[in-house]
């Protein structure tokens, strides 16, 4: 799959381009989109706290897998929106959702030998989608392409688009 850095770069590109259209998207809000683009990969917490450990502690079956599904990500986005002041909750909710959506778009473009994606849209769609992927999880060109695109967007943003670099 596209690695975490690719997801962050794509979130950055998306947020900066949106900030050209919507002036209220300042750099702190760009960061919110970038954070949102990493949220579906929170299921990787399994590398630090294995599912088996949680199962033993709770005495119940446990898995981190729902964190990489739309339902789990939506829950994390809601929690994230609650962590900011009331005035910014709706904006942060939307921007975290935009970032997470970009993550899912990239994941849907992965080539799977079966031609069927994992059930990323659970609980709204309980089965995988038939998608011809664009790249393998082992490919490195997506991160190179994202880095080049992010660099170009950064240059355009710094040289042509931004007149006021103030924070919110």
pLDDT in tens, 121-137: 788 778 888 888 888 77
- Residue numbers of the domain that contains 52: 4-161
Helix (H, G, I), strand (E, B) or coil at 116: strand
Burial of 12 (0-12, 13-18, 19+ CB in 10 A): buried
Q: Is residue 109 part of a domain?
A: yes
The list of the chain residues with pLDDT below 50 reads 1, 168
- Total number of domains in the chain: 1
Q: Is residue 78 part of a domain?
A: yes
Percent of the chain that is helix, strand, coil (3-state, to 5): 65, 0, 35
Residue 87 lies in a domain: yes
Answer yes or no: is 51 within a domain.
yes
Start-to-end CA span in the chain (Å)? 34
pLDDT of residue 167: 54
Instruction: Classify residue 168: in a domain, yes or no.
Output: no
- Burial state string for 126-151 with b = 16 or more CB within 10 A and e = fewer than 16: eebeeeebebeeebeebbebbeeebe
Residue 167 lies in a domain: no
Please check whether residue 44 is in contact with residue 7, taking contact to mean a CB–CB distance below 8 angstroms.
Answer: no
Three-state DSSP state, 129? coil
Q: Is residue 77 part of a domain?
A: yes
């Amino acid at each position: 799959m596209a690695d975490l850095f690719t997801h962050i770069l794509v979130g950055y590109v998306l947020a900066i381009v949106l900030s050209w259209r919507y002036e209220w998207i300042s750099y702190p809000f760009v960061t919110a989109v970038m954070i949102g683009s990493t949220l579906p990969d929170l299921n990787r917490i399994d590398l630090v706290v294995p599912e088996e450990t949680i199962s033993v502690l709770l005495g119940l079956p446990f898995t981190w897998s729902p964190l990489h599904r739309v339902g789990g990500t939506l829950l994390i986005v809601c929690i994230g929106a609650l962590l900011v002041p009331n005035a910014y909750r709706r904006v942060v909710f939307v921007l975290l959702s935009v970032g997470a959506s970009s993550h899912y778009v990239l994941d849907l473009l992965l080539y799977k030998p079966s031609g069927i994606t994992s059930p990323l849209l659970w609980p709204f769609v309980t089965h995988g989608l038939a998608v011809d992927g664009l790249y393998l999880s082992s490919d490195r060109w997506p991160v190179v392409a994202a880095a080049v695109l992010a660099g170009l967007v950064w240059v355009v943003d710094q040289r042509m688009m931004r007149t006021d670099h103030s924070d919110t």
